[in-house]
Structure 1
């Protein structure tokens, strides 16, 4: 009898970046680079390049919902990554849809501010995200700017990061990875706290580079990809952070556009994994 295989698939629910450095484009590049099969549900189309965002066209909530269901019912992903959810309608639709698939790990990068400083979310959506989406999440991965918006706390050091992460854990998510990349220094720190009592400070060297557009998208996508290929959450985070670090390092001397360039997602691409179907 002929053996039949399948790829570990990952679904990204996020916005499109016409400049190719962040959003859906960065997510699919990351999945591919890490040996996974990428699928997508597009939440918005942005008019964007390395210099910034000049327009956002929202995809109707029923169309986003339909994309998710189409993927879930046919190419069931081993993990899901969520990025740009910029309206209340989208948050409600995504939440309602994901409740039908409670066993799939979901990583949420609550994209609110672009690398250029452009705001990517409506004011009234923040509280809705916390109330209806966060409780469904395996992990949320806000950066410092996003954590300040979500908690109302000013964050300037590692101890304040811990406090903010604990506050975010109270929203009902299973774990928080608060990224400290905006605290410039020779070392960068990310704070990980889970509802199970795990707590870890991840440390890495700072890389001086203008090419960091899409870093958050890439990290959350890499975590989802590593989960899809069989890693525990803490292992997936550690491997994903290393992948992003190397992607920044290998892309720092490359000129793409006139502003904040992308990472080098394909510095060491992996072949697609194949699992034998039972």
Structure 2
């Protein structure tokens, strides 16, 4: 090739600001949740993903067999590396395994002050067991939640976060009559916004989430999808919302678009055959060759 024919880009030809979203979470070796799901969701929704890993997990579609936390010092080193170089607009936070890591993340977020922070408070296993010690939950509430633009608890996580703020709610017996009480309690733990995810109200034919602010509560519903491939749904939703915020969407629009993206990823999840247990949602359904079949 004649090099004289190559057109060089001038400064004026530089692309527009790339919407970068940072995910701070644990690694899922099975690829369906955690950092891996976040990177897929951010990429599929039009953003650029970077990452800080807080823990390594030995995990597949059948469950988690081991967790190896990263030291708070190395979490801080990763955060310094990405924030000192990349123009990060939004941050999604997932699994934080102990109080030390929570403090390290909170301190660095106060230092670098990203525009948007979406916190998915991963605290309760599917079995109902707590994944965080009591001191870590307290640190999360005191150090990290006040920094968040949006927190996205599911039903057991919402109950765990609010249980010291008033009347105790039994998760296993929670009825729709308790919903208003839970929403009012959630308003007291965050000065910004909360997205209460309704997936655990499994008796409903629709999956209804509640976007809660101090002044209003908006319901966001989608038809419940019958699939066992639901691994990583919470990670995927919060990462997609953060990605849309980084791209300039207002909060309500980002939440609605994130919900629609997750719904479509669930609708197409059975196009995938991954593992022997609960497989992942289909993050890249729009690129799947059989999407219209």
Give the TM-score taking structure 2 as reference length: 0.87
- Distance between the aligned counterparts of 1:243 and 1:19, measured in 2? 21
Change (3 A) 1:118 1:19: farther
Shift of 1:68: 1.3
Question: Quick one: which of 150, 170, 185 aligns to 1:154?
Answer: 170
Q: Which residue of 2 aligns with 1:85?
A: 96
Question: Quick one: which of 65, 69, 78 aligns to 1:67?
Answer: 78
- Is the CA contact (8 Å cut-off) linking 2:89 and 2:114 kept in structure 1? no
- Distance between the aligned counterparts of 1:261 and 1:216, measured in 2? 14
Q: Which residue of 1 aligns with 2:283?
A: 265
- Distance between the aligned counterparts of 2:115 and 2:251, measured in 1? 13
* Deviating more after overlay: 246-255 vs 173-182: 246-255
Shift of 1:35: 1.4
User: SS where residue 112 of structure 2 aligns?
Assistant: coil
Shift of 1:115: 4.5
Q: Which deviations, in whole Å up to 9, do the C-alpha atoms of 1:98-153 show, x marking residues without a partner?
A: 11233521000001234566653233211111111100000000001111222222
* Deviating more after overlay: 23-32 vs 114-123: 114-123
Question: Quick one: which of 33, 36, 43 aligns to 1:32?
Answer: 43
Q: Which residue of 2 aligns with 1:186?
A: 205
- Distance between the aligned counterparts of 2:201 and 2:73, measured in 1? 39
Change (3 A) 1:257 1:103: closer
Shift of 1:172: 3.3
Bigger Rg, which one: 2
Residues 48-67 of structure 1: matches in 2 within 5 Å? Answer: 48-67=59-78
* Deviating more after overlay: 144-153 vs 19-28: 144-153
Q: In the alignment, is residue 108 of structure 1 matched against residue 119 of structure 2?
A: yes
- Is the CA contact (8 Å cut-off) linking 2:91 and 2:114 kept in structure 1? no
Q: In the alignment, is residue 141 of structure 1 matched against residue 159 of structure 2?
A: no
- Distance between the aligned counterparts of 2:84 and 2:177, measured in 1? 43
Cα RMSD (Å) = 1.7
User: SS where residue 182 of structure 2 aligns?
Assistant: helix
Gaps of 5+ in 2: 1-9, 164-168, 288-293
Q: Which deviations, in whole Å up to 9, do the C-alpha atoms of 1:25-66 show, x marking residues without a partner?
A: 000001111111100000000111111111110000011111
User: SS where residue 286 of structure 2 aligns?
Assistant: coil
- Distance between the aligned counterparts of 2:92 and 2:148, measured in 1? 10
Q: In the alignment, is residue 123 of structure 1 matched against residue 134 of structure 2?
A: yes
- Is the CA contact (8 Å cut-off) linking 1:165 and 1:177 kept in structure 2? no
User: SS where residue 124 of structure 2 aligns?
Assistant: coil
Q: In the alignment, is residue 169 of structure 1 matched against residue 180 of structure 2?
A: no
- Is the CA contact (8 Å cut-off) linking 1:9 and 1:228 kept in structure 2? yes
- Is the CA contact (8 Å cut-off) linking 1:161 and 1:178 kept in structure 2? no
Task: Report the number of matched residues.
Answer: 268
Q: In the alignment, is residue 20 of structure 1 matched against residue 31 of structure 2?
A: yes
- Distance between the aligned counterparts of 2:217 and 2:113, measured in 1? 25
Q: Which deviations, in whole Å up to 9, do the C-alpha atoms of 1:212-256 show, x marking residues without a partner?
A: 000000000000011111100000000000000000010135321
- Distance between the aligned counterparts of 2:122 and 2:148, measured in 1? 15
